[in-house]
Structure 1
Amino acid sequence: MSDALPVYWTPGFTDVFIDALSKDPAFQKASRSLEQTIVLRCLDTPRGTDVLVAYQIDRGRVSCAEFAEEPAPSSLRDRPFDKATTLGRSTAPFDFWVKLDKGEVGVIDVITSPDYQLEGSKLKILRYIKAFTRMGDVAKELPKRYA
């Protein structure tokens, strides 16, 4: 793979991902009524860091509300989940995110894995499952490097 490809779980990948979502008709349709923030946390990246990305979704428009990266194990792991401002928060180790991105694990694996944590109202999250599924699909389609 080319060194010019964005590295997974970096600001460069986040920018490419947001741009791809903004151009994806299926995501636009699935998120047209979604006005929420979601937080994704990746633990123990190959760079020796933890990463937190907060995505603000506003009726199909996506922006990065926060990107934080700290040496692992970091204080990002101890941040309380704020259900007043965030619809959901997903946390998993880097290796699990890679398996998810490569399609090596599916929804059942996510639900049952002790390595994956989902916080927030499951009913509210399920209401927008098509949008979140499409986000995963768009991420999978993007050329990237894992380290």
Structure 2
Amino acid sequence: MSDAPRYWMPEYVERFVEALNDDDAFQDTAGSFSETIELCCLDTPDDEDVSATYTFEGGQVTDADVWIDEAPSEQMREEGVDTDAVMARATAPYDVWVQMDQGEMGATEAIASPDYKIDGSMMQIMSNMGVFRGMMSVAADVEKTY
């Protein structure tokens, strides 16, 4: 297991993208989903904030960008969401992402948590909850270390 990447590091994001694109159940759920989603993780064990932006075209991730900055990253934490470029941005501390990844917290619980912030059109987000739940399910199955 020593070659397993650490959660939220660029190597993990690469494996996550491969898993999303190769997972038949996720592909069935994602269907024609063509949007950009940004996920932000605050206060990783390396004292960094990490932003991963995933661009989907027809259910496939066609681009993934990772931005890592020293925590607390003023720019990452205070930057507004460009809703013309990003459908949704979800931001939470590392420990909340770990709880979701390990199945201790579901998407609905996360949205209700004061530690989890979601920006974007709530109507669009809710109508695409299957995609978000599918992403969480695939992420949980990607081999990683915490």
TM-score range, shorter chain: over 0.9
Residues in 1 aligned to 2:62 and 2:2: alpha-carbon distance in whole angstroms: 25
Q: Tell me which stretches of 4 or more aligned residues in structure 1 moved more than 4 Å.
A: none
Amino acid at match of 2:128: Y
Amino acid at match of 2:58: R
Structure 2 gap ranges (5+): none
- Provide the residue aligned with 1:110 in structure 2: 110
TM-score where L is the length of structure 2? 0.95
SS at match of 2:35: strand
Query: How much identity, in percent, do the aligned residues show?
Result: 39
- The count of corresponding residues between Structure 1 and Structure 2 is 145
TM-score where L is the length of structure 1? 0.94
- Provide the residue aligned with 2:79 in structure 1: 79
Residues in 2 aligned to 1:15 and 1:107: alpha-carbon distance in whole angstroms: 22
Residues in 1 aligned to 2:69 and 2:111: alpha-carbon distance in whole angstroms: 27
Residues in 2 aligned to 1:139 and 1:145: alpha-carbon distance in whole angstroms: 12
Moved more, 56-65 or 21-30: 56-65
Amino acid at match of 1:86: V
Residues in 1 aligned to 2:9 and 2:39: alpha-carbon distance in whole angstroms: 12
Contact map agreement 2:88 2:119 (CA 8 A) in 1: yes
Contact map agreement 1:30 1:128 (CA 8 A) in 2: no
Matches within 5 A, 1:31-42: 31-42=30-41
Displacement of 1:132:
1.3
Amino acid at match of 1:20: A
Displacement of 1:144:
0.5
Residues in 2 aligned to 1:126 and 1:27: alpha-carbon distance in whole angstroms: 17
Cα deviation digits, residues 37-67 of structure 1 (max 9, x gap):
0000000000110000000011121034421
Change beyond 3 A, Cα 1:126–1:36: same
